[in-house]
Homo-oligomer: A and B are copies of this chain.
């Protein structure tokens, strides 16, 4: 018989969480069944995502979250006693589970040998935030040597790693964060420039830090910061949207941040100017001509007669009076 402690989501979040959103409870754990393990929490993680994600759960649920735990009893040969694991067990001191059941997110995994490196890193650099930085930056921004990279939330668990990966890849890196101490620290770990968004003019400082413009932006915050950085991006710039921490504690109805849809639904958006495909121009014309000739593509034109009527045709088109392509016949 073992008493586990657990934190319950006691009251729905509204604005910043306070003590009354949480309640500490105890739970008596029973015996292990076949394939089950008993895991004892050593380090637990607190992460920004918990704030918006808890909204999907009813009040009374155990708070969600990952932990580094030790297998203290085992009836599963893949999870021997004494091994350290990562598990999404929630805010609990002790957990009984069958580690072979469920999807990837629900399943714990045995941590590789960290050598001299502290176990708690299984929640950070060597866990979800580390992989968010590694994959989320490299796979989406695809940074090239000598490019300029901007990271918001640059002193956070993910942002502090993105800047260092960008340096490893040969980029110039600018971090945006909220205190002078954080600015100091990110410069110590390799950031070329640090901007304190609470005391400095981001727009002006970014122009100094990135005089050639911004090629990649790793966005942890959304909101005004993102608008400013996006305004200084170069042609063919890439933005990886990891989070929108600036609005997690706002009511959804009050602040609508377009970045929100991008994160949750993993959307991709790209703008274009058609001259990008100049080298393939005739391919497009020929394929469209073929579709017209095959009867698969219909067209319609609104033709205005007379060169002297160009302005009228133009103004009308902007007001939407044409259907299909607006043309002037001389």
Contacts and interface: CB of A to CB of B under 8 A. Distances in A.
A233 to B, nearest CB: 6
Interface stretch (A73-81, A200-208, A317-325): A317-325
Interface string A101-130: 000110001001011010011011111111
B124 A239 contact: no
Contacts of A40: 330
A258 B269 CA distance: 11
A99 interface: no
A270 B142 CA distance: 12
Given A297-B161, A297-B164, A263 B269 contact: no
A61 B291 CA distance: 38
Nearest to A299: B125
Interface residues of A, number: 140
Most interface-central of A248, A259, A268, A300 (chain B CB within 10 A): A268
A128 B281 CA distance: 9
A41 interface: yes
B264 A271 contact: yes
Contact of A318 (B45, B234, B248, B317): B248
A34 interface: no
A160 to B, nearest CB: 6
Nearest to A5: B307
A24 interface: yes
B267 A233 contact: yes
Given A48-B317, A131-B277, A323-B155, A296 B266 contact: no
B117 A320 contact: no
Nearest to A131: B284
A277 B133 CA distance: 12
A276 B269 contact: no
Contact of A136 (B128, B241, B272): B272
Given A161-B288, A284-B135, A326 B272 contact: no
Given A46-B314, A47-B326, 13 more contacts: A22-B310, A24-B308, A105-B275, A115-B293, A126-B285, A131-B284, A164-B298, A165-B291, A165-B297, A168-B291, A248-B318, A261-B271, A266-B276
Interface of A: 5, 7, 16-19, 21-22, 24, 40-48, 50-51, 63, 91, 93, 104-105, 109, 112, 114-115, 117, 120-121, 123-136, 139-140, 155-157, 160-161, 164-165, 168, 178-179, 181-182, 185, 188-190, 227, 230-231, 233-242, 245, 248-249, 256, 258-259, 261-278, 280-282, 284-289, 291-293, 296-301, 303, 307-308, 310-311, 313-315, 317-320, 322-330
Closest 10 CB pairs of A and B: A262-B271, A124-B325, A131-B284, A241-B271, A157-B325, A239-B269, A263-B271, A46-B314, A134-B284, A22-B311
